Amino acid sequence: MAWMDDARRRDVAFAVTQAAPTPSIRVRYTDYSRHVRAPTVAAANHKTRLPGESPTRMSNYVVAMEAAWLVRDVEESDDAIGVAVSEAGRRLNDQDLDYVEVEAGVTSCPACGEPLDAAFLAAETALVGLVLELTVFNADGEEHASRIAKSEVGGALRDVPLEVIEVVEEPEDEE
């Protein structure tokens, strides 16, 4: 308003004050910086690694899992173990998982510590403990290997409880 002289400026100011009241407009400036996420640096893996970086070491792991298998209409625990191993092997082979080894589980006697087959028989129904073992290649770590193993085997053995009991990293061959 540099082009207005002082008299004109007073007249405009008077006219503005005499006009009908207008709702006051408040300009509110908000600090939105707290809503912006700070960039975080994730640990590099085989997907996030830059081309020039040294590769993270992917390892092979042997994963052992325990499965609880229910067998009906059996009279002896040896028969129940045979049926459980056979059925589990058939279901794994149907899904092309023939690389999974299936064995009867072993538990120890609470009194003497002698190893016993993991089969409990009552009313011609048996609960058989099986040990499933497979090798997982190129996993990021033990947890990653166990998730891969449970996913592979769990897809073929639906409705069978699985628990990872041991994960062992295979030694890397130096050639």
Question: What's 108's domain CATH number?
Answer: 3.30.70
Per-residue confidence (pLDDT) for residue 171, from 0 to 100: 81
Domain extent, residue 111, equals 59-169
Residue 2 lies in a domain: no
Residue 41 lies in a domain: no
How many residues make up the chain in this entry? 175
Residue 119 lies in a domain: yes
Per-residue confidence (pLDDT) for residue 65, from 0 to 100: 93
C-alpha–C-alpha distance, residues 20 and 1, integer Å: 23
Residue 98 lies in a domain: yes
Distances in Å between the alpha carbon of 116 and those of 15, 30, 80, 128?
A: 103, 70, 14, 12
Residue 11 lies in a domain: no
Distances in Å between the alpha carbon of 18 and those of 1, 21, 42, 152, 161?
A: 20, 8, 63, 81, 83
- Among residues 169, 171, 136, 166, the alpha carbon closest in space to that of 65 is found at 166
Residue-wise pLDDT tens for the chain (175 aa)? 555 566 666 665 555 555 555 555 554 545 555 555 555 555 555 555 555 555 567 788 999 999 999 999 999 988 999 999 999 999 999 988 888 999 998 888 888 888 888 889 999 899 999 999 999 888 888 899 999 999 999 888 888 999 999 999 888 765 5
Residue 36 lies in a domain: no
Residue 50 lies in a domain: no
Whether the pTM exceeds 0.85: the reply is no
Question: What is the total count of domains within the chain?
Answer: 1
Residue 5 lies in a domain: no
